[in-house]
Structure 1
Amino acid sequence: MPAKHDINKVGVESSDFPILCETCLGPNPYVRMSKQEFGNECKICNRPFTVFRWNPGAGARFKKTEICNTCAKIKGVCQTCLLDLEYGLPVQVRDAALGRKSQAPSSDINKQYYIQNLEAQMADSPDGSSTLDAEVANRAGREMLKGIARSDPYYKRNRPHICSFFVKGECKRGGECPFRHEIPKEGELSKQNIVDRYYGKNDPVAKKILREQAETKGMKAPEDKTVTTLLFLGLPQTTESEVRASLVGACPFVKPIDIRSITIVEASHCAFINFKQRQLAERAAEALSAQGGIEVGGKKAKVVWGRSRPQKGKAAASSGEASGSASGTVTVTGGSN
């Protein structure tokens, strides 16, 4: 096996075998692959890498590796679909459930330096693994991932792409066309990006999964968009700094500057966490519901949404007369902003 080259001198990666999930590999145990060294640029680190191409089964499209072997090892994902190898779920869902921090840097210089150090660690490791992502997994989050993970491979994902000529009404090949004759569905799932999926940011598939999981646990986001408060219930005796540290540790995407205020009510053993942005509050709620709550001072606390503030003055009186009989008065269990 040839010695590994210095990335700064060569800037390429060579590999003998791809890292693939069972779905992308297909049901055929005797799949044949073509191998092309330095056949394309990695979609993440932009280095030329070894591209593998194969047909996963009858009626499926030819597939190929999209990212290099090293980038796949950093995130523990398939080189083709970029889904987690253990659960078959998006990176954003896995990291939110396990409270993992985003590891791979996104800037070009930091990316190359990070990958070079990682490859050096893997070369020195007896089993070829890296210690950069050694973390203690959240048990509740891992159970949640097991519950929503597919037990069998989803080979439907290997179907041919939709025929663009059929969409225009110009395909004349009929049944001989190797592409699917379907009208594409417009929506958030139609706007997927391979880089966003890898880094676990703004992934529409992950957002849908996390939103559905939060709703099943009674954590549906309030319709009132002014509500940006989460409520931690059942807290031990704690301090504001400890609550802030626990939140940032459980939700690495939350920065201390993103929190407007934290109010602890010792008599009720609860805390109000008021975020500056509604979108960030929703992400935190989804992540904490996936983890089964938040651990503060060695005790697991329940997380719920705050509620709207009641309107004051004449506006409250007029709106109360119009909707009071239908919905009743609004109780205050959390602040907004």
Structure 2
Amino acid sequence: MDVLTALLSEGTAASLVRALVPLLLLGLSGLLCHRVGVFNIALEGFMLMGAFAAVAGSALTGQPYLGVLAAGAGGGLVATAFAYGVIRRRGDPMVLGIAVNLLVSGLTAYALWAVFGVRGTFQSPQIAPLPRLAGGFVAELPVVGPALGTLSVLGLLAIAGLPATHVFLERTVWGLRLRGVGLDAEAAESLGVDPRRYRFWVIVLAGVLGGWSGAQLSLGSVALFTENMSAGRGWVVVLALLLTGGRIWPLVGVLAVFALADAVGLRLQTYGFPVQLSDAAPYLATLAVIVIVGVRRRRALTARPAGAPARDR
């Protein structure tokens, strides 16, 4: 009972928010690429570069918001190279995405040694973390107080970005054109829309959002950088996009399951559970979602009368 009480505590809610915010920013990054018809598996590289650039910018200047700007620039720079290869040079996005992830992994490890003279983990009093925006009586509110108390400016951006992105895609001319490029590029081009230009700049914007997700991970949740600290979150977002078909609110639900499992795993460590089990908990939860979605789709196909058209679920 004590363990169950701890898992339902305010501390777990705060851990859930800390784990969810970078996933939401990265999810918005991947969602825009998905809607414009680009299968982007370089999200992991965007996030990792942003995490390193944020810590480097904060440590060298003492200003966390300069670290955030550096993270956006770092993610955008990586995304520009990726977009150039995919859009301008017509490269395979799968191959280039894997190459970007491997390149950023090695580049950040080398830069960590070259700039700060350390390997593995860099943690220093010079790193200025992102300030929490909610304090005082807000942080003391029951249940939601500790969770709101963890929010930074990037957390507010992630929360506000969800409805804003929905409205942009569904209610604006640019959003409708973006979706049109993703659905049928030739038809969009016949109406005077340049699909290559739309895709190029959407990928660059996705890189900026991915860099900010890394900044939230390294400056908002903690104040350090560890080699490969993105820990597969980019792949989780790619999988969530495939499972949800690029629909924004189901995507949030899948990412929330992953974040909740991550938060619960951290709390279980305080009760002596193996670290390996708690580290694997988010990925086990994601695997469970895959199985559930697969079973539902198979049942739907089985229950569909012969000759009836299949529906997108």
Larger Rg: 1
Looking at secondary structure, tell me which structure has more strand per residue: 1
Q: Which has the higher contact order (CA 8 A, sep 6+)?
A: 2
Looking at secondary structure, tell me which structure has more helix per residue: 2
TM-score over 0.5 for the alignment?
no
Q: TM-score range by the shorter chain?
A: under 0.3
